[in-house]
């Protein structure tokens, strides 16, 4: 973003004192800038992956509702501009919003207490969203509608895409295994649709949280908030754990589930389908980026990385399904 564009955007807000840009973390999907004005700090976000005002309006309704509820964690509260709107527009039509800054540090998967705290945060977010009434309709489809969301890609375009790059051809066996996983989903998804539904954050992970010491105190980026099976909240948060040595993977999963289970529980039906939901999440991510590659938005190297990751996680889950279920039953199962 050019300085003149940034200045024109910030001038849409009434800030105390002279403002300046200060160093801070940036997101993957959007342009973010840390702004200091007087004694206050803000986060300015410019949405790069869409220009749909309804998406931002839904996100802001959720954030205001959570802030009023005071659920035990902080959220970035949107700031009104001079037009008394929380959504601003750049000259090129891009959407932007300004949020109150939540002081803290980015938690990491290397810190055991952060992993457990992420599990606790996932449970608190789930319970808070469960008790909310949102007038806006969800923008994004549930994960279990994968076959409908990516219908053309799965049925017609994927074979061509997977032959379009040497990097994909070199991973032909992994790609074929992924395609078989997608086919296998068809017979198992009807059971998923019967699970308890509610609003979920949809993208809960370390990069969207803020920690103070060993405890996660803030949850960010509700852009992908939607109505889905509630167990997907746990699944999305666990994906970063499937790296490294076997012992590390199991310890991370255990710590996270201990944290979640100390705050909230799942029904037997939800627990039994968790391994499938992990694979569903990864297959959705792979298809999302395969579609972006087809549209010229991402390069082959990125998609090749997702082929490796999707294959690795799906194969690991299949190989360890019974042990996974034992862990989930022990830590997450609701007492009857």
pLDDT of residue 186: 84
Of 198, 267, 208, the C-alpha closest to 232 is 198
* 8 A C-beta contact, residue 65 and residue 225: no
Q: Which residue has the tokens 């702004």?
A: 35
Q: How far apart are CA 130 and CA 268, in angstroms?
A: 19
pLDDT of residue 31: 85
Calculate the alpha carbon distances from 263 to 40, 221, 300, 310 in Å.
Answer: 33, 22, 41, 30
In the Cβ-directed half-sphere of 36, how many Cα atoms lie within 13 Å? 8
Quote the DSSP letter at residue 145: G
- Convert the pLDDT of each residue in 134-163 to its tens digit: 888 999 999 999 999 999 999 999 999 999
Q: How far apart are CA 84 and CA 78, in angstroms?
A: 11
- Name residues of the chain where pLDDT drops below 50: none
H-helix or E-strand spanning residue 96: strand 95-100
pLDDT of residue 131: 81
- Convert the pLDDT of each residue in 209-260 to its tens digit: 999 999 999 999 999 999 999 999 999 999 999 999 999 999 999 999 999 9
Quote the DSSP letter at residue 266: B
């Amino acid at each position: 973003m050019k300085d003149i564009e940034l200045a024109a955007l910030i001038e849409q807000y009434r800030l105390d004192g002279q403002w300046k840009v200060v160093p801070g973390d940036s997101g993957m999907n959007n342009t973010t800038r840390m702004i200091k004005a007087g004694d206050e700090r803000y986060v300015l976000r410019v949405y790069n992956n869409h220009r749909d005002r309804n998406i931002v309006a839904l996100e802001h309704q959720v954030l205001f509702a959570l802030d009023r509820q005071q659920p035990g964690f902080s959220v970035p509260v949107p700031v009104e501009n001079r037009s008394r709107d929380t959504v601003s527009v750049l000259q090129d039509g891009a959407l932007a919003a300004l949020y109150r800054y939540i002081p803290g540090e980015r938690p990491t998967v290397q810190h055991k207490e952060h992993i457990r705290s992420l599990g606790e945060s996932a449970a608190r977010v789930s319970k808070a969203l469960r008790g909310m009434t949102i007038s806006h309709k969800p923008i994004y489809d549930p994960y279990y509608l994968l076959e409908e969301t990516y219908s053309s890609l799965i049925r017609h375009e994927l074979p061509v895409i997977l032959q379009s790059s040497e990097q994909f051809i070199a991973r032909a066996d992994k790609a074929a295994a992924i395609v078989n996983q997608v086919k296998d989903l068809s017979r198992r998804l009807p059971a998923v649709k019967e699970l308890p539904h509610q609003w979920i954050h949809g993208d809960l992970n370390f990069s969207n949280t803020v920690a103070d010491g060993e405890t996660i105190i803030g949850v960010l980026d509700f852009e992908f908030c939607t109505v889905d099976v509630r167990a997907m909240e746990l699944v999305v948060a666990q994906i970063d754990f499937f790296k490294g040595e076997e012992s590390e993977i199991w310890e991370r999963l255990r710590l996270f589930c201990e944290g979640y289970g100390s705050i909230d529980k799942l029904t037997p039906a939800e627990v039994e389908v968790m391994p499938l939901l992990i694979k569903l999440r990864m297959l959705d991510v792979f298809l999302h980026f395969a579609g972006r590659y087809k549209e010229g938005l991402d390069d082959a190297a990125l998609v090749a990385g997702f082929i490796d990751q999707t294959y690795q996680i799906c194969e690991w889950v299949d190989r360890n399904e019974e042990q996974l279920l034992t862990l989930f039953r022990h830590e997450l199962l609701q007492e009857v």
